[in-house]
Amino acid sequence: MDNRLNYLTVEELKAELKRLKDNLCDLEDMHSFTFGKTSVHIGSEKAQNIQIEFEDECKKYNEEIKEIEKELKARGAI
């Protein structure tokens, strides 16, 4: 993703940052609802796999967010 960031304008980077943060928030809300506010009847192995996938997706979003924030800082935009 890093090379692609060089070709984006500051406005595009900010829009991408907002999109990623919104997606991360949606993912966290969905996960919280699924495991906190509903009665989920799935096996422990399935629940563990869902948790692992959730953590992997969160990690991916957070890494992308950090890259964009780093690029924006380098450009003096934040």
Is the distance from CB of 20 to CB of 63 less than 8 angstroms?
Answer: no
- The neighbour count for residue 15, using CB atoms within 10 Å, is 13
Tell me the C-alpha distance between 10 and 21, whole Å.
16
What is the model's pTM? 0.85
Buried/exposed code over 51-72 (b: 16+ C-beta within 10 A; e: otherwise):
eeebeeeeeebeebbebbeebb
Task: Report pLDDT digits (tens) over 20-72.
Answer: 999 999 999 999 888 776 666 777 888 888 899 999 999 999 999 999 999 99
